[in-house]
Structure 1
Amino acid sequence: MTRTNAWVPLAQWLAILAMTQEHAIKFIWPDSPAVPWAILVGRIVFPLFAGMVAWHLLHNTRRPLRYGCRLLLVGLVAQLPYALVVTPDKLNVCFTLGLGLLAVVLLVRLEERTLQLAAGLTLLMLALAAHPWIEYGLPGLLLVPAFALAFRYPRHTAAALPLLFAAILINAIPARMVVSLATAVVLLLLANGSLSWRIPVPAIPRPLRLSWYPLHLLVITLVTAGITS
C-alpha cells in the first residue's frame, strides 16, 4: 500500500474552519438558532485533528517527542483564552491530543511486551483519574492511540474497533455520534486506500496552523468582551 498525504491539507482546512465557525457562533451568538447546527458540523473537528496527529506521528515526523511537546505548548498558550471563552474547569483539546500522542510514543519505545502492558495499564489508570479535567475525557485521550493503531494496521478490521468505539463515545447525542463516527470511518478509508483524494489543496502554513487555535480563541474573547462591555 502506498502512503499518501494528499488528504491532509483538506483535513486541515476542514478542521480549522469547522472549529472556528462552531466557536464563533456558539460563544458570540449563543442565542442563535444556528447554534445546534454549528455544533453538529463541529463534530468533525476532533476526529480530524486526532487522525492527523496520529498520521503525522506514524509517517511524517522523525521527532515524535518534540511533536507531542509542541502540541502541549500550543495548549498552554491557548489555556487562558480557552478558560475565558469555553470553561475554566478543563484543559483544552491540545492537551488531549498531545497526551494521547505521548502515550503512543512511550508504548512504542518500550520493546518488551511486559513493559508495554505495564505502561499501558498505568497510563489507563492515569487517564481515568485525569479525564474529568480533560476536554473529551477518557474517549478523547484514547482517540489518538486508537487512530495510530488503525493506521498502523489498515487492513485489519479488529485494529479499527477501538477507534470506532472512541469516535462514538466522544459525544453524548446520537446525531453528533454519527458525525464523529462517519469522520473517523472516512479517515480510515483514506488511510487504507479505499478512498483517495486527488484534487490538490494548498497546505496551511505551519506558523498559521500552530497559532490558529489560541488566536481564534483570543479573538472570540475580545469580541465577547466588547459585546458585554
Structure 2
Amino acid sequence: MTTTALPVPQAPARSLPTWLPLVQGLAIASMAVDHASLWLVSGDIPEILRHTLGRLALPMFCFMVAWHALHSTHARRYADRILGIAILAQWPFMAMHGQPLGNICFTLAAGAYLAAYHRHRDPVALVAGVLLAGFTWLNEYGPLAFFLVLAFMAAIRWPLAWLVPLLTWPVLQYGPSLSAVSAFLGVLLLLALVTTHLPPMRLPRPLTRWFYPLHLWGIYIARGLT
C-alpha cells in the first residue's frame, strides 16, 4: 500500500488531527442510525439502514480508541474513562437486548488498557486489559471487535496492517452479507479520511465523550413511554 504510517510520538502533539472530528461525527451518526433502527423504528427501510449506514460505526469507534490509546498523555486514564462509559451504559443496553450481553465499550476498554501497558508498562493496565479481554466473548460483536482494535493499532504503525481490517475482518465479523460489504466500505472510508488533510473543525467534548451512554438511556426511556 502507498499510505504512510500515522506517527506515534513519545510526547503526543498538542493539536489533534483534522480528520478526528469528522470520524467522530460519522461514528456517532451511524451508531445512532443503528440503534434507532434496532430499538425505536421497525420496517424494511430501518433494517436496510441498520445493515448499511449502521455498520460504519464499529470500525470508526475501534480506530478512534486505537489512535487515542496510542497518543493520549495519560493512557490508563483514557482507558478508565472508556470503562466508566461502559458501566454507565450497561443497564439500558442489556435491558433493551433482553439478555446478559456486555456493550462494546467493555471491549474497547480492554484494547485501551493493553495499549496503556504497552506504552508505560503499567501493571494495573495489564491486569485490567487481560481481564476485560478474557470476557469479550460475552460482549456485543465478540472477540473479533477486540482484535479489530489491535489491528488498527498495528495499522497506525505499519500501513500494510490495514489489509487486516479492510479485507479480513468484515467477512469474519459478519459473514458474506450486506453488513460485511458496508463494514468494508466503512474501513475504506476511514482509511481515506485519516490519510487526507481536512479543514479544521471541532465537536463539543460532551457530545463525543458522553453520547454513548446518554443516547442509550434516552432510547430506553423513550421505549418505556410508548
Taking structure 2 as the reference length, the TM-score comes to 0.80
Structure 1 CA distance for aligned equivalents of residues 59 and 74 of structure 2? 23
Give how far 1:135 is off: 1.2
Partner of 1:162: 164
Partner of 1:113: none
Give how far 1:109 is off: 4.4
Partner of 2:198: 198
Partner of 1:130: 135
Partner of 1:216: 215
Partner of 1:152: 157
CA contact (8 A) 2:67 2:153 kept: yes
Taking structure 1 as the reference length, the TM-score comes to 0.79
In the superposition, relative to structure 1, how do residues 224 and 163 fare at CA in structure 2: closer, same or farther (>3 Å)?
same
| 15, 35, 53: which one aligns with 1:23 | 35
| 123, 126, 139: which one aligns with 2:144 | 139
1:28-57 deviations in Å (ceiling 9; x for gaps): 123x22222221211000101111111222
In the superposition, relative to structure 1, how do residues 208 and 136 fare at CA in structure 2: closer, same or farther (>3 Å)?
same
| 22, 25, 28: which one aligns with 1:13 | 25
Q: Once the two structures are aligned, what percentage of the paired residues are identical? A: 32
Give how far 1:108 is off: 4.3
CA contact (8 A) 2:107 2:136 kept: no
User: What are the ranges of 5 or more consecutive residues in structure 1 without an aligned counterpart?
Assistant: 111-118
Q: Secondary structure at the match of 1:62?
A: coil
Q: Secondary structure at the match of 1:79?
A: helix
Counterpart residue identity of residue 175, structure 2: A
Structure 2 CA distance for aligned equivalents of residues 189 and 217 of structure 1? 30
RMSD: 2.6
In the superposition, relative to structure 1, how do residues 189 and 58 fare at CA in structure 2: closer, same or farther (>3 Å)?
farther
1:134-164 deviations in Å (ceiling 9; x for gaps): 111111111111101001122xx2x234333
Q: How many equivalent residue pairs?
A: 207
Is 2:39 aligned against 1:34? no
Structure 1 CA distance for aligned equivalents of residues 40 and 79 of structure 2? 31
In the superposition, relative to structure 1, how do residues 107 and 58 fare at CA in structure 2: closer, same or farther (>3 Å)?
closer
